[in-house]
A and B are shown apart, each in its own frame.
Chain A
Amino acid sequence: DQQVKQNSPSLSVQEGRISILNCDYTNSMFDYFLWYKKYPAEGPTFLISISSIKDKNEDGRFTVFLNKSAKHLSLHIVPSQPGDSAVYFCAATDSGTYKYIFGTGTRLKVLA
């Protein structure tokens, strides 16, 4: 039972355009969500997060949107840069616990 789903395994975007990565979850107890970015042969690195009390969080070129009723979140990157090419993982947690549940990742390729 996959509680966090990233249904698009890959995405290609032209440099300068917007990248939109999507994530769906099923557990209504999740109240904190994170995005991690992973380059080959490296561990994931934290990118941005959002609490369930918000519907948007912005950090520079990165914005995460949360739609609690749809149990859906998305990561927007604008403008996309070639250095953004990586695998992006969505994660969710119940903030009363220690356990993050990760999605399967979306490989983003930004074309120069």
Chain B
Amino acid sequence: GAGVSQSPSNKVTEKGKDVELRCDPISGHTALYWYRQSLGQGLEFLIYFQGNSAPDKSGLPSDRFSAERTGGSVSTLTIQRTQQEDSAVYLCASSLIAGGSTYEQYFGPGTRLTVT
């Protein structure tokens, strides 16, 4: 598998429960990004990692959202006490290194989260 993979592909959860979304970036890619696409909206930047560190967490919508990356590879996005407005497609992307113009971002297929 040469591409970015995400799991699960679909997640239905009850309001108030915690969820974990997983992203496996392309091997060797040091930069990893999380985006959210709500219905009728564009891709909303959430957080990015360069290696295991996240220099900018300002895109996270609230303190219920957190993300980590271990070993410079897999990343998990955790949403605690989910709310209905968290329902969206969560997309992960990776690039060789972080850098706006030089390094294309490769996207995974996304995780569709539905909070009931």
Contact = CB atoms under 8 A, between A and B. Distances in A.
Contact of B100 (A36, A93, A103): A93
B9 to A, nearest CB: 8
Interface in A66-106: 89, 91, 93-105
A2 B43 CA distance: 11
Contacts of A34: 104
A102 B43 contact: yes
A95 B102 contact: yes
Interface stretch (B12-20, B65-73, B78-86, B105-113): B105-113
Interface in A38-71: 41-46, 49, 51
B56 A43 contact: no
Interface residues of B, number: 29
Contacts of B102: 95
Given A4-B42, A43-B107, A93 B93 contact: no
A96 to B, nearest CB: 7
A43 B91 contact: yes
B42 A94 contact: no
Contact of A43 (B31, B45, B109): B109
11 contacts: A45-B107, A46-B104, A46-B105, A51-B101, A89-B43, A98-B98, A98-B99, A99-B56, A101-B45, A102-B42, A102-B43
Interface of B: 4, 9, 31, 33, 35, 40-45, 48, 50, 55-56, 91, 93, 98-102, 104-110
Interface of A: 2, 4, 6, 31-32, 34, 36, 41-46, 49, 51, 89, 91, 93-105
Given A41-B9, A41-B110, A98-B100, 11 more contacts: A4-B42, A41-B109, A43-B91, A44-B91, A91-B43, A95-B99, A98-B99, A99-B100, A100-B100, A102-B42, A104-B42
